[in-house]
Amino acid sequence: MTRHAAGSRTSSGEPIGATSFKYYIHDGIEALRLQLIGELTEAKVTDLDGCWRTARTTLAGRPLIIDVQRLVRVDEAGKRWLAAMAVEGAEFVPAGYLRGAIASDTPLAKPSKPVERPGLWGRVIAWLRGTPVPIE
């Protein structure tokens, strides 16, 4: 594990070691599962990546499943690491995690509803009020 001087900060200015993060490795017959809990930040990615490099030597054709159900926050470095894991073939629990949470600022936020375009009367009323009308 890398040791840092007291007062060290990540490139985003966050104090190193200031976040609460744990991971568990569940090495099963059918799959290797990494369970991530807490805040996945730049300060924790290096350790997690080292764990992954070691664990991947034991996959022997089994899938890697990354369980992100208990993550509460993911910073940009964490998002990049998770995206890299997807490129390497990792599966996520929940399955739609990369489509929804990685793109948002809050990792476990529900996907936002699509913006509804106002109908004809909605556009007319918006025009009369002088408010901007989304262009279709």
What is the pLDDT tens value at each position of the chain, 136 positions in all? 444 444 445 555 555 455 589 999 999 999 999 999 999 999 999 999 998 898 889 888 899 999 999 999 999 999 999 999 988 889 998 886 766 655 554 444 444 444 455 667 677 776 677 666 555 5
CA–CA separation, 131 vs 136, rounded Å? Answer: 16
Residue with tokens 């568990």: 24
CB < 8 Å & 24+ apart, contacts of 53-58: 55/25, 55/27, 56/88, 58/27, 58/32
CB neighbours of 48 closer than 8 A, spacing ≥ 6? 23, 34, 36, 40, 81
**SS3 of 24, please?**
strand
Cβ atoms within 10 A of the Cβ of 30, count?
8
What does the alpha-carbon distance between residue 67 and residue 80 come to, in Å, rounded to a whole number?
16
Taken in order of first residue, the domains within the chain and their CATH numbers are: 1-108 (3.30.750.24)
